[in-house]
Structure 1
Amino acid sequence: MIQFFKSLYFGRRLFYALFGISTLFLLSFWFEILYSFTWILTSILLVLLFTDIITLYSGSHIDADRILPEKFSNSDENRVEISIKNSYGFKLNAEVIDEIPVQFQKRDFLRSADLLPHNTLSFEYFLKPLNRGEYVFGNLNIYITTFLKLAKRRYVFNKDQMVKVYPSFVQMKKLDFLAMDQKISLQGIKKIRRIGHTMEFEQIKEYVRGDDVRTINWKATAKHSNLMVNQFQDERAQPVYSVIDCGRVMKMPFEGLSLLDYAINSTLAFSNVALKKKDRVGMLVFSKKIDSLKKASARLSQLNHIMEALYNINTGYLDSDFSLLYSRIKKNLSHRSLLMLYTNFEHMSGLKRQLPFLKALAKNHLLVVIFFENTEITKLTEVAPQNLSESAHQTVAEQFAHNKKLMAKELQRHGIQTLLTPPKDLSVNTINKYLEIKARGLL
């Protein structure tokens, strides 16, 4: 009985009818002929109401399901499907209220639909998350009514469904085509830069005249009683690392996403392209400490490992320690690698504090410093000032924008590759920079 009353609601038509009947009872105080007529209307309304309730609770039911993807892609439109099956033998009207996760701050979700008898209805809607993490859906509430719309019956489905929001794998798939440049892989066109003896072990074989005696494997020779040599092949896969700064400078938001989220989305897309180019990809995340380090690997599973590691990364409120970054890279990365460093500098003084460590990194590795244009300031410089105050603001904005270009020139002057980009174009520009480096044979 308690469940019955919890599921029973009344429609607007009933309240409109009750308001009209109340008005007629009031008028019957002066016009007595309305009194008996109003009681007849009241009786008819009660009969219709009980008929409506009995019809809704006649033993038939509806089934509904919220179909979620395995994971959501951050900063992209993600599809959510609602499926409703009507087991009643007549047409129903349904109002669907889905309890969307609190992160979206959406409290007015309502969809109305007609349910045909013994039929299934499906519809979809899209959600765009702006933060990584766990998103919990609440109840899927469905209120059904007959054509009378005097009473409603409430159904509740799918309590507490959880979906995880990962870095933008949708963006990664969209940019996958950038790895399909066939010209780069054609023999005789791609530039190859060889430094030293970069060879990978392939197999052990018997010595034949002309083999390098320096490659003799003495242990294998002792076992086989014949001279055995190690055979090597040219090392093709180069180590490529995405280095992400998680300090306070990466908290700045643009169009709903923080700079850190832009960097994370770019790292995933860039790593996918690098794997397609047969390079080994890795990742390092740092702030006041080293938060995560994934050694470079060319395995297909490496992309999933990077995605899982990026899932829980958050910014802090302190400045990052670039001296710690330098010492950890010097200790753990013995081979010359491509380092794509995602960070941000707003003032020349901030760059100069970190410049000695950046120069030290660039001595042993190919370093690309990626930092961001302040697009809000750029917009301000493009607006014609209307008064003296706006003119002063525009002058300051132009100075900030000019400082960004000076910082890029300063890094280039010290032989450090630089990429200054708007946040929304970060992934495309980063991949293009990587492809440029591969084409020029700098790594």
Structure 2
Amino acid sequence: MNPITIFKQLHLSNRFFQVLAGIVLVFVIGYFVPVVGPIGEIIFYGFIVFFGVDALILYSRKNPLSGQRVTPQRLSNGDENPIRLQINSSLNFTVKVEIIDEVPHQFQLRDFSISTSLPPNQEQEFRYELRPTQRGEYDFGDINVFLQTALGFVRRSVTIPASETVPVYPSFIQMRKFEMYVISNRLTDAGIKKIRRLGHTMEFDQIKEYVRGDDVRSINWKATARANELMVNQYQDERSQNIINIIDTGRVMKMPFDGLHLLDYAINTSLVISNIALLKDDKAGLITFSNENAGVVKPQKRRTHIRRIQERLYNLQTNFLESDFERMLIALRKHVNQRSLVLLYTNFETFSAMERQLPYLQQIANRHLLVTIFFENTEMTRLIEKKPETLGEIYTQTIAEKFSFEKRQIVRALNQRGIQTILTPPKELSVNAINKYLELKSRGLI
């Protein structure tokens, strides 16, 4: 092996310096107590021998390790994504290893490592999870492994080439989770409310086995008697309705909560809503806007359409400028002619901010069923619930209550003008938006 390569891979361990410090201490004592001097020499020469043996064992093979990193083709934003490291040892003895994976800089993991032992001539798999909070491309580096024997005087570094770039997309894990709930009719398990239907005004579809969540009033007793198990009538909802997600990408959506911006919560939820709409044979569309031209994905009901929506959401970013609601209104009128359910994701912090956009909201509500979605400030809520102890805390709590009251005023003002609203904490956005969509659909309002 090349001496330069050996030198680069060679690292002295903490044990090496600890033993060396002990030997120095023995020699210092031997200076004052001559009897101890020869003992120090014996220990020193023994240390040199063990050091050499340790190094020879570690460098007995040119390529002691091989391996790879197994990552998904894309990562899901805001979710825990599994990463696997497969390390194969070709050594004939057990070694202690410290594995340092070069994770993307976006995670800011300065001390990430896995310490374990590798048995001889075996492959082991190690798992960990990463939670990205930004969309875009993430660059993984190499896998660095530090080996040492039981003696532990020397560490050898081995670099396994594993550089790769993995894109982070809007939360498709959350989308798939709700998709499975829809397919298995278990939305109530995810916190989705069971919507009571006043009679059946829809077309009969089929008779099927009863599953939890079905309306017990739909039980077909004749079919139940024949099959000797509960059977229910299934009715078909009105289909091919337009579901339009409109996302404000202005400065108001830059506010962070739990590592994600409000924009990311809106993106993840709009992807979930679009997927559920397509599963229910509705048409899903998307409009994004800020102070510039609006981006539009026209509503369609093909299942492959979700990919177009996902690609549109992938590179969506906020800016620090005021959004132009007039541009959004023009884009909606131009590209959507049929009456639709419009879910508008924005954030009104003050009543005056809502009043400036109210004329545009009313124009949308005249032609479509508009649901305006904005966010509770959870930090304000915590301040209000906390018991104040000083004059400054009382003042801060009073201001927080004022802003909270304004949020409730906004809801009341919009509802008085026939505009549906959702005021929600960011983490509960998906569940609350799905509940509203299913509620409006079951009531036949769209």
TM-score in terms of structure 1 length: 0.86
Do the aligned residues in 2 keep the contact of 1:175 with 1:428 (CA within 8 Å)? no
SS of aligned partner of 1:441: coil
After TM superposition, give the deviation of residue 174 of structure 1 in Å: 2.2
Alignment correspondent of 2:39: 37
SS of aligned partner of 1:108: coil
Paired amino acid for 2:27: F
Find out whether 1:189 has 2:196 as its counterpart: no
After TM superposition, give the deviation of residue 388 of structure 1 in Å: 2.9
Alignment correspondent of 1:195: none
After TM superposition, give the deviation of residue 189 of structure 1 in Å: 2.3
Do the aligned residues in 2 keep the contact of 1:246 with 1:315 (CA within 8 Å)? yes
Alignment correspondent of 2:227: none
Alignment correspondent of 2:275: 272
Question: Structure 2: any 5+ residue segments left out of the alignment?
Answer: 187-193, 204-236
Alignment correspondent of 2:360: 357
Find out whether 1:409 has 2:398 as its counterpart: no
Do the aligned residues in 2 keep the contact of 1:179 with 1:277 (CA within 8 Å)? no
Alignment correspondent of 1:309: 312
1:355-380: CA deviations, max 9, x gaps? 11111111111111111111111121
After TM superposition, give the deviation of residue 33 of structure 1 in Å: 3.1
Alignment correspondent of 2:257: 254
Alignment correspondent of 1:78: 81
Find out whether 1:418 has 2:421 as its counterpart: yes
Do the aligned residues in 1 keep the contact of 2:239 with 2:280 (CA within 8 Å)? no
Do the aligned residues in 1 keep the contact of 2:248 with 2:346 (CA within 8 Å)? yes
Find out whether 1:395 has 2:398 as its counterpart: yes
SS of aligned partner of 1:274: helix
1:48-78: CA deviations, max 9, x gaps? 1111111111126111222111111111111
After TM superposition, give the deviation of residue 387 of structure 1 in Å: 3.0
Paired amino acid for 2:49: V
Do the aligned residues in 2 keep the contact of 1:66 with 1:158 (CA within 8 Å)? no
Once residues 389 and 122 of structure 2 are traced to their aligned partners in structure 1, the CA distance between those partners, rounded to angstroms, is 62
Find out whether 1:284 has 2:287 as its counterpart: yes
After TM superposition, give the deviation of residue 100 of structure 1 in Å: 1.9
> Which of 152, 156, 162 is the matching residue for 1:153?
156
Once residues 152 and 249 of structure 2 are traced to their aligned partners in structure 1, the CA distance between those partners, rounded to angstroms, is 56
Once residues 258 and 314 of structure 2 are traced to their aligned partners in structure 1, the CA distance between those partners, rounded to angstroms, is 20
1:194-248: CA deviations, max 9, x gaps? xxxxxxxxxxxxxxxxxxxxxxxxxxxxxxxxxxxxxxxx983111111000000
- The number of equivalent residue pairs is 402
Distance 1:178 1:94, change over 3 A: closer
Once residues 301 and 139 of structure 2 are traced to their aligned partners in structure 1, the CA distance between those partners, rounded to angstroms, is 35
After TM superposition, give the deviation of residue 177 of structure 1 in Å: 4.7
After TM superposition, give the deviation of residue 31 of structure 1 in Å: 2.6
> RMSD of the alignment, in Å?
2.2
Once residues 283 and 147 of structure 1 are traced to their aligned partners in structure 2, the CA distance between those partners, rounded to angstroms, is 60
Do the aligned residues in 2 keep the contact of 1:191 with 1:441 (CA within 8 Å)? no
Once residues 235 and 37 of structure 1 are traced to their aligned partners in structure 2, the CA distance between those partners, rounded to angstroms, is 93
Once residues 181 and 155 of structure 2 are traced to their aligned partners in structure 1, the CA distance between those partners, rounded to angstroms, is 54
> Which of 26, 29, 49 is the matching residue for 2:28?
26
SS of aligned partner of 1:88: coil
Do the aligned residues in 2 keep the contact of 1:271 with 1:303 (CA within 8 Å)? yes
Distance 1:344 1:335, change over 3 A: same
Alignment correspondent of 2:50: 48
After TM superposition, give the deviation of residue 131 of structure 1 in Å: 1.2
After TM superposition, give the deviation of residue 25 of structure 1 in Å: 2.1
Alignment correspondent of 1:109: 112
1:156-305 superposed matches below 5 A:
156-177=159-180, 179-180=182-183, 181=185, 189=200, 236-305=239-308
Distance 1:14 1:103, change over 3 A: same
After TM superposition, give the deviation of residue 159 of structure 1 in Å: 4.0
Whichever of the two has the greater Rg, that structure is 1
1:304-343 superposed matches below 5 A:
304-343=307-346
Once residues 132 and 349 of structure 2 are traced to their aligned partners in structure 1, the CA distance between those partners, rounded to angstroms, is 27
1:77-102: CA deviations, max 9, x gaps? 11111121111111111111122211
Once residues 384 and 324 of structure 2 are traced to their aligned partners in structure 1, the CA distance between those partners, rounded to angstroms, is 33
Alignment correspondent of 2:229: none
Paired amino acid for 2:328: L
TM-score in terms of structure 2 length: 0.86
Question: Structure 1: any 5+ residue segments left out of the alignment?
Answer: 193-233
Do the aligned residues in 1 keep the contact of 2:69 with 2:162 (CA within 8 Å)? no
> Which of 413, 420, 434 is the matching residue for 1:431?
434
SS of aligned partner of 1:28: helix
